[in-house]
């Protein structure tokens, strides 16, 4: 469901429920503007192949948690929108490529630039402070487990396993809540 109701339903799911639905997560990076996006499964997207005003595109779809470009420049399946944009635009250094300016998603019948969507409170997704702290703990546990097993995981694999752990083990949320409460108390005490 790629209409506004589908985007809103995506925001209401737990992380693991959303991942199981086949949707794609685009988490905002620390100190970046805007909010994160939960893109419903089967949402079409298109990537501008040249500059921000380009009308030459490669098309794709969000499927099974991946940004899939079925054919054309950059064809493949990517764990993040940034990877997909970099593959479709190999002429641009991936470190200087702001993917939010080059990918559009279809919401209902209208195409929206990702940069605009991440600033819309009715579409963008903002995890709670408790959830953020719980995910930090879960990611750390996943990395530690992988290290003990001498296994290398990609950032996407770590994220998926952490989301699953968050749903499977309520202790992460309990500890996340305690950390968030401590941060809140400290912020109140240190306020000038």
pLDDT, residue 187, reads 57
pLDDT of residue 145: 95
For the chain, 192 residues long, the average pLDDT of each consecutive 10-residue run is 85 86 84 86 94 87 95 92 90 72 94 93 84 91 95 87 89 89 68 53
Domain count, the chain: 2
Same domain, 9 and 97: yes
Q: Domain of 186? A: 129-190
pLDDT of 190: 59
Do 76 and 151 lie in a common domain? no
For residue 123, is it within any domain? no
Determine contact, residues 28/181, Cβ cutoff 8 Å. no
Domain closes at, from 75, 91, 117: 117
pLDDT per position as a tens digit, 88-132: 988 876 565 688 889 999 999 999 999 999 999 888 888 888 888
Which long-range contacts does 116-119 make (Cβ < 8 Å, 24+ apart)?
117/37, 118/26, 118/28, 118/33, 118/34, 118/35, 118/36, 118/37, 119/33, 119/34, 119/35
The crossing angle, in degrees rounded to 10, of helices 129-148 and 155-168 is 110
pLDDT of residue 136: 92
Beta bridge partners of 45: 60, 105
Answer yes or no: do 25 and 106 share one domain.
Answer: yes
Task: Check residue 52 and give its pLDDT.
Answer: 75
Predicted pLDDT of residue 41: 95
C-alpha 39, offset from chain centre:
8
Residues 78 and 48 in one domain: yes
Please state the pTM of the whole predicted model: 0.78
31 found inside a domain: yes
Length of the chain: 192
Residues 113 and 136 placed together within one structural domain of the fold: no
Say what the pLDDT of residue 1 is: 54
């Amino acid at each position: 469901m790629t209409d506004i109701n589908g985007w809103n339903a995506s925001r209401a799911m737990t992380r693991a429920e959303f991942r199981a639905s086949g949707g794609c997560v685009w988490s905002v990076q620390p100190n970046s503007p805007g909010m994160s996006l939960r893109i419903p499964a089967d949402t079409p997207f298109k990537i501008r192949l040249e500059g921000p005003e380009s009308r030459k595109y490669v098309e794709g779809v969000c499927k099974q948690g991946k940004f899939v470009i079925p054919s054309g420049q950059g064809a493949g399946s990517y764990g993040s929108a940034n990877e997909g944009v970099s593959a479709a635009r190999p002429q641009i250094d991936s470190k200087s490529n702001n993917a939010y300016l080059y990918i559009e998603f279809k919401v209902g019948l209208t195409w929206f630039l990702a940069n605009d969507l991440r600033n819309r409170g009715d579409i963008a997704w903002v995890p709670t402070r408790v959830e953020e702290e719980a995910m930090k703990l879960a990611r750390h546990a996943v990395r530690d487990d992988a290290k003990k097993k001498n296994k290398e995981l990609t950032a996407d694999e770590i994220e998926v396993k952490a989301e699953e752990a968050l749903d499977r083990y309520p202790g992460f949320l309990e500890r996340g809540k305690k950390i968030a409460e401590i941060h809140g108390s400290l912020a109140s005490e240190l306020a000038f």
